[in-house]
């Protein structure tokens, strides 16, 4: 049932913006294997709406973008990382244009939109579906490169380390990954001299999330199990404006709607129906950073017992709205909402994982041979709260940085040793698949209720207790039954939830996205929450 395949030079887990950027650079010299869990465009990248932040306007400066990023990040950002990413942004955009991304233009210049926390217009975009255009261009480039092998429907299970060498070394050196081929059912060892984790975030730990189904924290959990540190996992970003619809639970309404003049209002039926409430919370009103807007909405929903608030851009010219937001406009029409004349009902939902596998400026993790890039990481860019549209940017800069570092160090990496195949001799098929669904739903529900936008120590402890109970059950299930995609995801979801809750309990203050009513003040010194396996 299991094979060790011939080694590639580099194994990359993930085919989103981070993974493909790294693959395209590495393919200048090396044979690269890219694995993806579902089809190749199934990560968050393809879902990105608003765009990519970069200093491209004459009146804008790197210093302003750095300041905006660090204000949003509530002082937890690492300045060196912020500078590196922001100064490399214009080059990253040029590379995307060279690959054929058709960014919107106005009067022969790139059209720049604006989002919360930005002091300037600096977001390049392709209508309101930027991610789809980026994903397509990266995939087209990768497909055309004979040095890149793209392998969809492979579920990475665990990293291959010194423990899996035929001649057991027990070291933390990473040699690739064991992955389940969903079509053949085989678990193969994919090996390489270097490995990059680019598996995206962990949004599906929460009941309501804008992230795609596969965002189950697999890379964070795999790196943790292999011995890498993770950092700032309590910093979970909630996007203020996810469509409120009982059938369509995770459709994002881009922040650019507020950037282009949309107002947040109390809905019909509320005591002050039609009131713009953001001015009561922050001088930046609807364009305050996300943590502030999401908490304000949460506050109004709880205070007035609402289901949602309204996002209203109907005071703008209908043609302007249709032109800027063609995809959202069309999608809403199918649900009976015309955003040119009606408000859009919205609620906050989990959106982005700011914490993750701790990396340095070259994308290196703690483990020799293991790199990471993109949403799976904690690079120091986002601090306690990510600034809008800085995330795709991080993928491009760190995907490239990891690739360059691997090239520079290539001669230090030894040959891949003989690796033991995956052992399935002691497991059987499960006759209780219902356990997976039950546990998955339970985790997502208590994470939403106990570890959400506003936290208390008591609720965090309740969540921790639930996790302890489920851990034994899931470990037992994992040890006895054949691995399936759902089981891999459940195991990782639970592991990631544990890291989030442990980190949240460690932080004895409120900062950025982490708001605990038992510790409402921000401490004078900003410190990362670093967990050591």
Q: What residues are labeled active site?
A: 290
Q: Does 254 bind ligand SIN (CB under 6 A)?
A: yes
User: CB count, 10 Å around CB of 431?
Assistant: 7
Contact 266, 274 (CB under 8 A): yes
Length in residues, the chain: 533
- Indicate the SS3 state at residue 276: strand
Write down the least CB distance from residue 188 to ligand FAD, Å.
12
242 strand-pairing partners: 252, 347
Comparing every residue's Cβ against ligand SIN, the nearest one is 50
Q: Which is nearer to ligand FAD, 270 or 313 (CB)?
A: 313
Q: Which is nearer to ligand FAD, 492 or 529 (CB)?
A: 492
245 binding partner (options ligand FAD, ligand SIN, none; Cβ < 5 to 8 Å by kind): none
Q: Does 47 bind ligand FAD (CB under 6 A)?
A: yes
Q: Does 201 bind ligand SIN (CB under 6 A)?
A: no
H or E stretch at 404: helix 391-409
Q: Does 451 bind ligand FAD (CB under 6 A)?
A: no
Q: Which is nearer to ligand FAD, 35 or 270 (CB)?
A: 35
Distance of CA 139 to the CA centre of its chain: 19
User: CB count, 10 Å around CB of 168?
Assistant: 10
Q: Does 350 bind ligand SIN (CB under 6 A)?
A: no
Distance from C-alpha of 190 to C-alpha of 220, rounded to nearest angstrom: 19
13 strand-pairing partners: 35, 197
Write down the least CB distance from residue 125 to ligand SIN, Å.
8
Q: Which is nearer to ligand SIN, 388 or 453 (CB)?
A: 388
Q: Does 237 bind ligand FAD (CB under 6 A)?
A: no
Among the listed residues 391, 496, 510, 529, the single contact to ligand FAD using CB under 6 A:
391
Distance from C-alpha of 487 to C-alpha of 440, rounded to nearest angstrom: 10
Write down the least CB distance from residue 391 to ligand SIN, Å.
5
Among the listed residues 27, 48, 278, 387, the single contact to ligand FAD using CB under 6 A:
48
Distance from C-alpha of 514 to C-alpha of 521, rounded to nearest angstrom: 11
Q: Which is nearer to ligand FAD, 279 or 326 (CB)?
A: 326
Contact 406, 394 (CB under 8 A): no
Q: Does 50 bind ligand FAD (CB under 6 A)?
A: yes
CA dihedral 125, 128, 131, 137 (to 10 degrees): -70
Among the listed residues 12, 17, 372, 493, the single contact to ligand FAD using CB under 6 A:
17
Q: Does 211 bind ligand FAD (CB under 6 A)?
A: yes
Q: Which is nearer to ligand FAD, 131 or 345 (CB)?
A: 131
Whole-number Cα distances in Å, 66 to 57, 119, 378: 15, 11, 17
H or E stretch at 447: helix 434-450
Show the binding pattern over residues 256-275: x = contacts ligand SIN (CB under 6 A), - = does not: x-------------------
Among the listed residues 158, 218, 255, 489, the single contact to ligand SIN using CB under 6 A:
255
Distance from C-alpha of 197 to C-alpha of 219, rounded to nearest angstrom: 6
Number of residues that bind ligand FAD (CB under 6 A): 43
Whole-number Cα distances in Å, 179 to 10, 13, 189: 15, 10, 7
Q: Does 18 bind ligand FAD (CB under 6 A)?
A: yes
Task: Give the E-state strand segments of 5-162 in sequence order.
Answer: 10-13, 32-35, 52-53, 105-106, 109-110, 112-113, 123-124, 148-151, 154-160
Q: Does 196 bind ligand SIN (CB under 6 A)?
A: no
Residue 177 phi, psi dihedral angles, 5° rounding: -155, 145
Among the listed residues 7, 19, 117, 348, the single contact to ligand FAD using CB under 6 A:
19
> What part of residues 104-163 is at the interface with ligand FAD (CB under 6 A)?
130-131, 154-156
Q: Does 259 bind ligand FAD (CB under 6 A)?
A: no
Among the listed residues 19, 43, 50, 117, the single contact to ligand SIN using CB under 6 A:
50
Write down the least CB distance from residue 127 to ligand SIN, Å.
11
Q: Which is nearer to ligand FAD, 11 or 306 (CB)?
A: 11
Write down the least CB distance from residue 460 to ligand SIN, Å.
26
176 binding partner (options ligand FAD, ligand SIN, none; Cβ < 5 to 8 Å by kind): none
User: CB count, 10 Å around CB of 471?
Assistant: 15
Q: Percentage helix, strand, coil, to 5, in the chain?
A: 40, 20, 45
Q: Does 365 bind ligand FAD (CB under 6 A)?
A: no
Q: Which is nearer to ligand FAD, 44 or 510 (CB)?
A: 44
> What part of residues 382-401 is at the interface with ligand SIN (CB under 6 A)?
388-389, 391
Among the listed residues 43, 343, 452, 512, the single contact to ligand FAD using CB under 6 A:
43
Among the listed residues 218, 286, 291, 310, the single contact to ligand FAD using CB under 6 A:
218
Distance from C-alpha of 266 to C-alpha of 305, rounded to nearest angstrom: 11
Q: Mark residue 10 as left, alpha or beta (left: phi above 0; alpha: psi -120 to 50; beta: remaining).
A: beta
Contact 275, 343 (CB under 8 A): no
Q: Which is nearer to ligand SIN, 41 or 501 (CB)?
A: 41
Distance from C-alpha of 131 to C-alpha of 166, rounded to nearest angstrom: 42
Q: Does 392 bind ligand FAD (CB under 6 A)?
A: yes
Distance from C-alpha of 481 to C-alpha of 490, rounded to nearest angstrom: 13
Q: Which two tokens stand for residue 470?
A: 């489920």
Residues that bind ligand SIN (CB under 6 A): 49-50, 254-256, 388-389, 391
Interface residues with ligand FAD (CB under 6 A) are 13-19, 35-38, 42-45, 47-52, 130-131, 154-156, 198-200, 210-211, 214, 218, 252, 352, 374-376, 389-392, 395
């Amino acid at each position: 049932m299991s094979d060790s395949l011939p080694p590639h030079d580099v194994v990359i887990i993930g085919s989103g913006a981070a993974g493909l950027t790294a693959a395209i650079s590495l393919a200048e010299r090396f044979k690269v294997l890219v694995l993806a869990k579902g089809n190749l465009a199934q990560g968050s990248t393809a879902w990105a709406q608003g765009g990519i932040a970069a200093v491209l306007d004459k009146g804008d400066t790197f210093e302003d973008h750095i300041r905006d990023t660090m204000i949003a990040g509530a002082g937890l950002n690492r300045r060196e990382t912020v500078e590196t990413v922001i100064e490399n942004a214009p080059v990253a955009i040029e590379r995307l244009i060279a690959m054929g991304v058709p960014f919107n233009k106005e009067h022969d210049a790139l059209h720049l939109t604006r989002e919360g926390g930005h002091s300037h217009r600096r977001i390049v975009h392709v209508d309101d579906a930027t991610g789809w255009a980026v994903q397509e261009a990266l995939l087209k480039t990768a497909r055309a490169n004979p040095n890149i092998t793209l392998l969809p429907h492979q579920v990475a299970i665990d990293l291959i380390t010194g423990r899996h060498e035929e001649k057991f070394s027990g070291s933390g050196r990473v040699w690739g990954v064991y992955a389940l081929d969903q079509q053949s059912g085989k678990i193969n060892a994919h090996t390489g001299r270097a490995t990059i984790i680019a598996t995206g975030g962990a949004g599906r730990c929460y009941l309501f999330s804008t992230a795609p189904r596969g965002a189950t924290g697999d890379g964070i959990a795999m790196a943790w199990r292999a011995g890498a540190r993770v950092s700032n996992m309590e910093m979970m970003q909630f996007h203020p404006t996810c469509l409120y619809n009982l059938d369509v639970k995770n459709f994002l309404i881009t922040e650019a709607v507020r950037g282009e003049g949309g107002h947040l209002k109390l809905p019909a039926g509320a005591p002050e129906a039609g009131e713009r409430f953001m001015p009561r919370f922050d001088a930046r009103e609807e364009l305050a950073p996300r943590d502030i807007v999401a908490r304000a909405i949460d506050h109004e929903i709880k205070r007035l017992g609402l289901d949602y608030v309204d996002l209203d851009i109907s005071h703008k010219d209908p043609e302007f709205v249709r032109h800027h937001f063609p995809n959202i406009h069309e999608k809403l029409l199918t649900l009976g909402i015309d955003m040119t004349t009606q408000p859009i009902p919205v609620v906050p939902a989990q959106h982005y994982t700011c914490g993750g596998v701790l990396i340095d400026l070259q994308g290196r993790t703690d483990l020799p041979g293991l790199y990471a890039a993109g949403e799976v990481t904690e690079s120091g860019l986002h601090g306690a709260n990510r600034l809008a549209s800085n995330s795709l940017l991080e993928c491009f800069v760190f995907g490239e940085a990891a690739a360059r570092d691997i090239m520079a160090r290539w001669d230090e990496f030894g040959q891949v040793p003989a690796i033991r195949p995956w052992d399935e001799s002691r497991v059987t098929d499960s006759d209780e698949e219902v356990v997976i669904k039950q546990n998955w739903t339970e985790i997502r529900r208590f994470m939403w209720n106990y570890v959400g936008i506003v936290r208390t120590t008591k609720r965090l402890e309740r969540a921790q207790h639930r996790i302890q109970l489920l851990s034994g059950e899931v470990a037992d299930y994992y040890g006895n039954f054949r691995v399936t995609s759902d089981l891999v995801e459940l195991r990782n979801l639970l592991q990631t939830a544990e890291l989030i809750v442990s980190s949240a309990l460690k932080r004895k203050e409120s900062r950025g996205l982490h708001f605990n009513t038992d510790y409402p003040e921000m401490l004078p010194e900003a410190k990362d929450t670093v967990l050591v396996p």
